[in-house]
Amino acid sequence: MAKLKIKLEDKHGALFVFGRPQFISVREGPTELILAGPWADMPSNTVLSGRLIVRDRVYGRLTWATTPKGDSFPVCMEVYAEGGARGMAREPGDDSPSSARIFTAAYVKAVGGFE
């Protein structure tokens, strides 16, 4: 993260889906978010890859980034709700233990490791 000039605990906007913010269905497992605007040395539209964990909230651990030019490198980030809480709130409409409805807009936070 230091090579990217991103400080631990810094947050930046990201989207699960391009377009108008909306509610979407997600499943536990692999996921991707798209960086909304440049963040330090990471360009806008960098794809952040990792894993979603569905529990009382939907938690995301992001471990890889791929820039629009195709450069790839490891990262250590967690998904946060726009309101500041770790993970995304589960929206009504899906009570499954392995899937959930969430809002498409989120923040990603640089972390030193996963809780």
- The total of structural domains in the chain comes to 1
| pLDDT at residue number 3 | 84
pLDDT value of position 2: 82
25, 32, 48, 80, 108 from 91: Cα distances, Å = 9, 19, 23, 15, 19
Is the pLDDT at 61 greater than 80? The verdict is yes
Q: What pLDDT sits at residue 68?
A: 97
Q: How confident is the model at residue 56 (pLDDT cuts 50, 70, 90)?
A: very high
Of 62-66, 68-72, 91-95, the one with minimum mean pLDDT is: 91-95
In a domain, 60, yes or no: yes
Query: Is the residue at 67 inside a domain?
Result: yes
| Residue 22 domain-assigned (yes or no) | yes
Whole-model pTM: value is 0.93
For 10-48, what is each residue's pLDDT tens digit? 999 999 988 777 899 999 999 999 999 999 999 999 999
Q: In the predicted model, what is the mean pLDDT of residues 67-79?
A: 96
**16 occurs within a structural domain:** yes
Which pLDDT belongs to residue 85?
85
CATH number at residue 96: 2.40.128.260
Residue 39 lies in a domain: yes
In a domain, 115, yes or no: no
Other C-beta atoms closer than 10 Å to the C-beta of 13 total 15
- Looking at residue 82, its pLDDT comes to 79
> What are the structure tokens assigned to 81, written together?
């709700």
Range of the domain at 48: 2-110
